[in-house]
Structures are given as structure tokens and as C-alpha cells.
Chains A and B, each alone.
Chain A
Amino acid sequence: MKFTVPQKDFLGILQKLFAVVPSKTTHPILNSILFSLQGDTLSLTTTDLEISLAVSLKVTGEADGELAIPAKRLLDIVKELDEGAVMLQTSKGNQVELRSGSSNFNIPSDPAEQFPELPKINVDTELEMNGDRLKSHIDRLAFAVSSDELRPVLTGVYFEFGESCLTLVATDGHRLVRIRDEQTGGHQALGSVIVPVKALNLLAKSVSGDTIVFGMARNHIVFRMGDDVLYSRLIEGKYPAVEGVIPQDNSNILQGNRAGIQRMIKQVSHCANTITRQINLALEENKLTVSAEDSEVGSRGRSEMDVDYNGDSIEIAFNSSYLEQLMKHVGTEDVVMKFGTPDRAALILPEVNAEQEETLMLLMPVRLMR
């Protein structure tokens, strides 16, 4: 194998691939990138066995071939090279030679056969979607998934392809974000799937305004963006029924400046217990008071703000980091919060929804014991 490629293009693509390389693995070969050159097309693949990314790059090819090269070492070297052409070729033994200007590097490689084969996926159904739109959805809900490996279904984002819309849900059991996208309807044949959040974060990183094509196979989802293909295994299991959890009759409605409320929460949270992060919200007519206290260290904080509120006087406690994160992702200037009783979930909504879209956030309060 021998080819020449501009350093900038090479670095960009290596960085994209490196995001898939697992940080810890029992199979050392997964730390490598599979290189495959045919004519002037270089195909590159990485996988962690759950998620695989295959991309291709135009190069000046001289000799076809296939090889697996350790990703980290290659990336570290290419990062430090001057802009200009980089030449890569196989040399004797299992070495690869990398040349750029007057620099010359030799790094070990492995035969391509050792690299796991990508799943042969027969895509049953496909659907097109605007890349930016999907990225915006992911940015607004990926933070809410759980990292609890004992509840694997909650570690992914739930996609439900309905007749009139695509519904996306992320929850860790304490907070929930649901986005309904009415522009992407009519694909009920795709059913519903749970996609690992790592795959979606990768997708959000590499997607641009182009169209994205989703394909669904038995236990995989495939995203195609131009020449790049991202495969991900789906999370098996039944996603909890979230519709029943969404309160319908939270009649105490607050509307206020989102950035202001978020700042207030952040300020006061510095006085909250660092483990429970509990803050208390007191709602009175047109006034919101946020307070926190840590009796262990003796800190106390309190902040007030004018808001539109005509409901009952309520005191309700939340985990400040959950609430702050939700506020951050609301996206509009004003936020609408709907409360029921202090032990029921509160709804957090944007003041207005984007076109053909509906966002809903839900946060379970902290139950006071005494």
C-alpha cells in the first residue's frame, strides 16, 4: 500500500475516526484503524464492536493494499506534522513508513485480516432527514440519558417512528426530554428502536447540513452522510412507557426569563450540599425564590426574581444540576414551567416551539423527608 494525502485532510479524518476507538478494550486490534486503498480511494474503518464508522478519502494512490494501523500513535504523529503532503507506505516486516518533508517515521501495523469484519447489514427501510435538524435534536436530549449500566435501555435514546412524527426520548429516570419532530413523519414501518448515546454523539459531531439517511436492519441502525457510514448496534429491551409519566394537569404555570432563572440556580447551587445538590424553589404570586443550604458546612444562599406566576404558593425541591442542565437546553428566551404538587414531576417547556417541532422536559423533584 502506498499513497499521498494532504496533512490537513488526513488529520481531520483521523480525528473523526479516533472518536470511535474504545478507551479500554480487551481486543488490542480495536485500537487500530483499518486502511484499505483501491486506486485513489482510501477507505478507513474503526469499530468498538458496538459502533463502527467507515469513511473514505480521495488520495493519490500508488499501490493498493490493506492494513490495520494503531490509531493513537498515527494520530499523534500526523497532528505534529507540517501542512503539506504526507506519504504513507508499507515497508519491510509489519512496519508502515510515514514521510512528510524531511521527517520520516516507522510504526508497526497489523494484517488487515485481524481486524473484525463489519456487520453485513441488509437495510430494510430507509428514511432521509436534514442533518442539522437531527444534530439539534441530539444536542438537546443526549445529556439526559442514564449512565447506569444496570439499566441498559436508559443508556440510549428512544426513537419512535410514527405516522405523523418522529418522537425522540431520553431519560435517566429522574429527568426526561421528549422531542417530537413533525417534519419526519410517515415512517411508522421503522417502528421504534433504542440507539446508544455514544453513536448519536458521534453522529452529532460529524454531521453537517447535508441530508442524513437512516437505515434500519434487524439489530442495527445505519446512518449515511455522504460517503461516511456509521453503524450502531441497537440496545435490546423494552423502553419504559413514558407517555403515562407526563403529567397532564400541572396547573401552576410560571413564565420567566430563562437565562435569569438559570443564573439564579447556578449562583445558589454553590451553597447547596455538594452531594445532594438540593435547591428549594418557593413560588408566590409573580415571585420565584431559589434557596439552598448545607448544614454540614454551614452555607446558605437565596435569590429572588420577578416572574409571571398566578398559581398556588408552592415549595418544591430539585437537584440543582439537573434543573440547570434542563434550563440550558430549553433554547428560547423565556421558559415555561408547570408545577403540580411538590412530589410530582414538573414540566419545563420552551416559550415557543420551533417550526413543526415540540419539545417537552420533565424533572422529578426531590422528596422532602420531614
Chain B
Amino acid sequence: MAFAPEDWNEKLRRKFSELSRADSLAGLEKESDRRPDDDEPSILHIDMDAFFAAVEQRDNPSLRGLPLIIGGIVDEKGARGVVTTCSYEARPYGIHAGMPLSRAWTLCPHGTFIKGSRGKYGSASMEVMALLRRFSPELEPVSIDEAFLNVTRCHRVQGSSRCIAEEIQATMERELGLTCSIGIGSNRLLAKMASKMRKPAGIFELPLAKAHEVLAPMPVSKMHGIGEATTAGLNRLGIHTLGELADFPQEVLIRRFGSHGGRNLKKLAAGLGSRVVKPFGYRREEKSIGQERTFGRDQSSLAAISAELLHLCEKVGHRLRQGDWLGRTLTLRLRDADFQTCTRQARLPEATQCDKELHKTAMALLQRNWQSGQALRLVGVSVSGLIRLEGTGIQGSLLEGTAGVRDQRVDQALDAINDVFGSGSIARCNAHFRRNMRVESGAGQAVSGGILSRSGSVTGAGAIGNHSGRL
């Protein structure tokens, strides 16, 4: 009689669990056989060191040892946008991620500035994650360059958490030519805090028992999850270190930061956090989908801003459609030349994934929150209130007649072409010409609604379905 392999696996698993239960019942497992860390959860936080810069330096030896700054846009007038990563050689100059590139440029004019390539880092990240997965299946990537790895159940075979961490570092360096810092903690929070302690290429262990001792002298702002505003609020209460926060009465914190916020702060100070590492294959539920862009130079013409918003809406729409989402709320983010940021939300007339619908609402919000002629540095669009499209439809509009159906077809055709020929192969004219738009000409309006292919030919929006086959 033949058995499917699944049946065998299942049978073996059951047998094994029966045996191990029987062992412990019979007292066969002696106390001395157990390793001390068998019961305590052990979570690793692996944080790649200056990931994008390290990838660039690995692939291009001439960049090694130089202050290397990656991010944003670099043009003849200098740098715009923000620093995404910089190599350790650039850090003594005071450069850090998130800093405006113009500032980095002033601090380190002889540094090497690179725009960076998302694709390259994406594939490097996949290699890193595949490597980590060899050590434990319970891997949760949290971003392109960091991940949590639960090694609680790996000790018998692979040794202590520190052994595993050392082995990960050695393998990573040998096989991928990259370094990482690893934090070992009893929960995610402690692991995350620990990985910051010995950067770069270090390992730090932070079990719960040692948490108070290590965390107490640290300033509150160093704690993961405590931002600028909360730090300022805590400082006003006379709290400067995590030790002071741990000793502070919870009721006062609740009064100041709300019931959730106050309790959460106490937990953070005590080093308590989640131990759940969502294993491979688990997809985190997305809450919003957004895109933003810093202009190459500040923009103050409606046509140019509208064109950029259209481009962003196309990107957001594409991601909504890829994920089979409908969005209900649109958020517009504007930052002016003085770095004043304005964030405004509006409910979309109907849950949608249509580029034009998103653009229409984004424009309505823009008109209400932007003074004509005001120079903008950054615009961003994000969509939240996501609903799964599975099995549902889209509420039709009376006033637009069949335009909704046509827009939907145009979106689908654009997606199909961009998926095959690469993102940006085809776009609506306004979005495509946004970079060359002249401030006063309003050139975008002239070709409004048309579609431009990379070859440069313009077709009418309605005709795109017929033309797409020829590209």
C-alpha cells in the first residue's frame, strides 16, 4: 500500500511527539540535559551594516574605503532629496540616513554621491533573506535590510544563540561579502535594541534579566518607538533616561499620553515586547499604499505639480491593482520650500483603484491647501482604508457614464504594458512630461488625457486598448 509523503511526515511527527512526551513523563530527561536557554525565547535581530553602501562597495572595489552617500537625486545643481544610506567612512562627517542631501553635500563635498539602484539592493536583500532562512524557518523580514529570526528551537542542533549569530556573520561575509550586526534578545524589542549596540559587525546579547541594567542609563530617545514628540513630552515631565521612565508612575503617563500610549511607554522602559516572529510566507496586512517625491527643483506651477501628482497616483493605483485592493481614503502630503509639511485627508467618493479617481481627489485637496504660486519641495499621495477586491465590484458612477469602465480598461492596459516592458514604459502624457514641464507654459494641459509610449508616439486615451498590441 502506497503512502503519500505527507502521510509519512504526519505519522512521523505524531510518533515523535508521543515519544518525547513519554520521555519526559518517565523522567528520562534530566535537568542537566537541558540547556539554560531552552525555555527563554531567543530572537535575533539582523541589521545589515550600511546596506546599500555596502552592496555598492562590494560590487565596485574602487568605492571601498571612500565616504559614499546614497540617496535622492543628484544633478548639476547639487543634491536633492534625502540620504538613504551612507558608508561608515562618511559617518565621521556627521552624515546620517534621513538627512537632506544638500546638507550632506555641505558636510562632505568630496564624498561620492550615488543615486543607487533599487533593483540591485532588492536582489541583494533576497540573497540575505535566503541565507538567514537556512538558520531558522521562523524568519520575518521587516525591511529591505533587516529581519527578525526566531532561534528558540534551534539550540540543540546549532548551539547557543551567540554561536548561531557568529555563524550567520561568518557565512554572510564569506558568501555574500556583506556584514551585519546582530542583536540577541528575549523578545523583538530587546533584539532590536541590542543590534544597535555594537555596530558595525557586532553581536550583543540582551536577555530580559539584563534589560533594566542596560536600558536604564540610556536616553529615552534611543528607545525604538519613542520619537521626537514623545521625547519632548517625556522631557517636560522630567524624564530623560529609560530608568527614570521605568520608575515613573504609570497613571501620570496615561494622563499625558493616553491609556494606550502610557502603558506602552512603561512596557518599552521595562524592555517588554512581542515574541512573535511571523514566519516565512506570512504577508503583513498592508494598511496604506503611498508614494512621494522630492522635486529636482522646487515647483510652483499648477501644471507641474498636477503632473507629478498624476504620476504618483499612477504608481499608487498600480500597486492597488497589483495587490487587489480598493482604497477609501486619500492623503495628500505637501512640503514647501521652508520644509513646512501639510498633510490632508479626504474620503474618496467611492472605494477605488483607478488612477484618475485618485488624481481627481488629490487635485481637489491640492486646490484647497495650496496657494497658487507657492513653491513645493515634495508631494506625496497615499491611499488607506484598504479593502480586498476579491469577489467584489466597484460602485459605478452615474455622472461619468461609461468613463469609469474606460478608465479601468486604460489602467489595466497601462499595467500590462508596464509589467512586460518595465515600469515607466508607458504613462499618461501629463505624467510622462512632468520632468520637462515649463513653469508657465502649462504644457501638460495641452496633451491632457493622451498616453505616451516610450517610443514617443501619442495616442488618445480611448484608443489605447487597440494600440497596446503593437508596442
Among B223-231, B303-311, B389-397, which stretch is in contact with chain A?
Answer: B389-397
Which residues of B lie under 8 Å from residue A273 when comparing CB positions?
A: 387, 392
Which residues of A lie under 8 Å from residue B393 when comparing CB positions?
A: 276, 278, 317, 365-369
Among B78-86, B168-176, B344-352, which stretch is in contact with chain A?
Answer: B344-352
Q: Does B152 contact A (CB under 8 A)?
A: no
Q: Does B398 contact A (CB under 8 A)?
A: yes
Which residues of B lie under 8 Å from residue A296 when comparing CB positions?
A: 388, 390
Q: Name, among A148, A175, A293, A317, the residue most crowded by chain B CB atoms within 10 Å (CB to CB).
A: A148
Please measure, in the bound complex, the distance between the C-alpha atom of A266 and the C-alpha atom of B396, giving whole angstroms: 21
Q: Does A90 contact B (CB under 8 A)?
A: no
Please measure, in the bound complex, the distance between the C-alpha atom of A276 and the C-alpha atom of B401, giving whole angstroms: 21
Find out whether the CB atom of B395 lies under 8 angstroms from the CB atom of A319. yes
Please measure, in the bound complex, the distance between the C-alpha atom of A242 and the C-alpha atom of B328, giving whole angstroms: 26
B108 CB to nearest A CB, Å: 45
Q: Does A79 contact B (CB under 8 A)?
A: no
Known pairs A276-B351, A276-B387; A367 contacts B394 (CB<8 A): yes
Interface string of A335-349 (1 = CB under 8 A from B): 000000001010000
Find out whether the CB atom of A240 lies under 8 angstroms from the CB atom of B399. yes
Known pairs A295-B390, A343-B405; A365 contacts B396 (CB<8 A): yes
Set A172, A174, A295, A345: member contacting B391, Cβ < 8 A: A295
Q: Does A362 contact B (CB under 8 A)?
A: yes
Known pairs A148-B347, A150-B364, A174-B350; A364 contacts B392 (CB<8 A): no
Q: Does B296 contact A (CB under 8 A)?
A: no
**A272 (CB) vs chain B CBs: closest residue:** B392
Set B346, B388, B395: member contacting A174, Cβ < 8 A: B395
Find out whether the CB atom of B396 lies under 8 angstroms from the CB atom of A174. yes
**A147 (CB) vs chain B CBs: closest residue:** B347
Q: Does A245 contact B (CB under 8 A)?
A: yes
Which residues of B lie under 8 Å from residue A364 when comparing CB positions?
A: 395-398
Q: Does B404 contact A (CB under 8 A)?
A: yes
Find out whether the CB atom of A366 lies under 8 angstroms from the CB atom of B389. no
Find out whether the CB atom of A367 lies under 8 angstroms from the CB atom of B396. yes
B301 CB to nearest A CB, Å: 22
Size of the chain B interface, CB-CB below 8 angstroms: 28
Interface string of A308-326 (1 = CB under 8 A from B): 0000000001010000000
A138 CB to nearest B CB, Å: 21
A109 CB to nearest B CB, Å: 36
Find out whether the CB atom of B405 lies under 8 angstroms from the CB atom of A174. no
B393 CB to nearest A CB, Å: 4
Find out whether the CB atom of B398 lies under 8 angstroms from the CB atom of A366. no
Which residues of B lie under 8 Å from residue A345 when comparing CB positions?
A: 396, 398
Which residues of B lie under 8 Å from residue A150 when comparing CB positions?
A: 346, 349, 361, 364-365
Please measure, in the bound complex, the distance between the C-alpha atom of A175 and the C-alpha atom of B398, giving whole angstroms: 7
Interface string of A235-259 (1 = CB under 8 A from B): 0000010100100000000000000
**B390 (CB) vs chain A CBs: closest residue:** A295
Find out whether the CB atom of B397 lies under 8 angstroms from the CB atom of A275. no
Q: Does A151 contact B (CB under 8 A)?
A: yes
Which residues of A lie under 8 Å from residue B399 when comparing CB positions?
A: 171, 173, 240, 242, 245
Q: Name, among B387, B391, B394, the residue most crowded by chain A CB atoms within 10 Å (CB to CB).
A: B391
Find out whether the CB atom of B397 lies under 8 angstroms from the CB atom of A366. no
B264-317 CB contacts (< 8 Å) to partner A: none
Q: Does A176 contact B (CB under 8 A)?
A: yes
Please measure, in the bound complex, the distance between the C-alpha atom of A369 and the C-alpha atom of B328, giving whole angstroms: 17
**A273 (CB) vs chain B CBs: closest residue:** B392
Known pairs A240-B399, A273-B392, A366-B395; A173 contacts B349 (CB<8 A): yes
Please measure, in the bound complex, the distance between the C-alpha atom of A253 and the C-alpha atom of B191, giving whole angstroms: 67
A173 CB to nearest B CB, Å: 5
B369 CB to nearest A CB, Å: 12
**A174 (CB) vs chain B CBs: closest residue:** B395
Which residues of A lie under 8 Å from residue B387 when comparing CB positions?
A: 273, 275-276
Find out whether the CB atom of B349 lies under 8 angstroms from the CB atom of A367. no
Find out whether the CB atom of B351 lies under 8 angstroms from the CB atom of A366. no
Find out whether the CB atom of B347 lies under 8 angstroms from the CB atom of A171. no
A194 CB to nearest B CB, Å: 15
Find out whether the CB atom of A367 lies under 8 angstroms from the CB atom of B404. yes
Which residues of B lie under 8 Å from residue A317 when comparing CB positions?
A: 393
B398-450 CB contacts (< 8 Å) to partner A: 398-402, 404-405, 408
Which residues of A lie under 8 Å from residue B408 when comparing CB positions?
A: 367
List the 6 shortest-distance A-B pairs measured between CB atoms, nearest first: A366-B393, A364-B396, A150-B364, A368-B393, A276-B392, A364-B398
Query: Which residue numbers of A lie inside 8 Å of B, CB to CB?
Result: 146, 148, 150-151, 171-176, 240, 242, 245, 273, 275-276, 278, 293, 295-296, 317, 319, 343, 345, 362, 364-369
- 16 A-B contacts (beta carbon < 8 Å): A150-B349, A173-B397, A173-B399, A176-B398, A245-B398, A273-B392, A275-B328, A276-B392, A278-B392, A343-B396, A343-B402, A365-B393, A366-B392, A366-B393, A369-B392, A369-B394
Query: Which residue numbers of B lie inside 8 Å of A, CB to CB?
Result: 328, 346-347, 349-351, 361, 364-365, 387-402, 404-405, 408
**11 additional contacts, CB 8 Å, given A148-B347, A174-B398?**
A150-B346, A173-B398, A245-B398, A275-B328, A343-B396, A345-B396, A364-B396, A364-B397, A364-B398, A366-B394, A367-B405
